Amino acid sequence: MTALALRWGGLGLALASAPRRAEADDAAPDGSASAGLIERLRRREPGAWRVLFEQEMPAIYRYAYSRVPSAEDAEDLASLIFEQAWRSAEHLEDRGLPPRAWLFGIARHVVTEHRRRLFRAPPAVALEAFDTPDAGLEGHAEQVALAKAVAQLPPADGEVVTLRFLHGLSLAETAAAMGVTVDAVKARQGRALRKLRELLGEEFALR
């Protein structure tokens, strides 16, 4: 992924002015540390936003890349996602989840609106988003087969699979990002995995 330019004022200036050495409670935004980080994000503290940017930008970029045709579009959307998050920081609530759940919710909305406006088409899954650096030829073929199979799922089921297994969100984080219940995520995940096993064979497994 190429370096992403921060083309807006507030967050770009904040990140530029923030110290690069993160405090201990920022480095692991889980449990009790998560609440403190969320409050600092709500106050738009530069250090907290630098931590969020450095931790989550790769995942947000990959999410956008899995839904749009080009790396350039993905970079633009990733920047826009963080811009919108910065602007709506005061709406971030502590629901016992890391801030990434809120961030992916914004990402989902931004990418959906982009596709609706430009393509008028259901979400597609970019094969490149499934690539892994050291997969080798056999591993690459498996990733391509997986991406093609995911593309055959109903959109909501495919999105659950990509959020859970490509981007690593928990059940609760996926539910928050999609605006549904955890039970709904479980149902979609189970349905999707059954279909993927039909398409790819029993040797296929997502954990």
The CATH code of the domain that includes 161 is 1.10.10.10
**What is the amino acid identity at position 140?**
H
pLDDT computed for residue 25 by the predictor: 39
Specify whether 120 is located in the same domain as 33: yes
Specify whether 89 is located in the same domain as 6: yes
Helix intervals (H) in the chain: 10-17, 24-27, 31-42, 46-65, 71-87, 99-118, 136-151, 155-161, 171-178, 182-200
Helix intervals (H) in 88-129: 99-118
The boundaries of the domain holding residue 171 are: 136-207
Specify whether 147 is located in the same domain as 106: no
Mark which of 124, 155, 170 sits at the end of a domain. Answer: 124
Supply the pTM of this predicted model: 0.66
- Number of domains within the chain: 2
Specify whether 144 is located in the same domain as 94: no
pLDDT tens for the chain, 207 residues: list them: 444 433 333 444 444 444 444 333 344 444 555 778 899 999 999 999 999 999 999 999 988 888 887 889 899 999 999 999 999 999 998 888 899 999 999 999 998 888 776 655 555 555 455 554 554 444 456 667 777 888 889 989 988 988 888 888 999 999 999 999 999 999 999 999 888 888 887 555 554
Specify whether 154 is located in the same domain as 177: yes
Mark which of 124, 145, 163 sits at the end of a domain. Answer: 124
CATH number of domain containing 14: 1.10.1740.10
Cα–Cα distance, 140 to 65 (Å, whole number): 17
Tokens 């480095």 belong to 27
Specify whether 115 is located in the same domain as 166: no
Q: Is residue 30 included in any domain, yes or no?
A: yes
Specify whether 111 is located in the same domain as 142: no
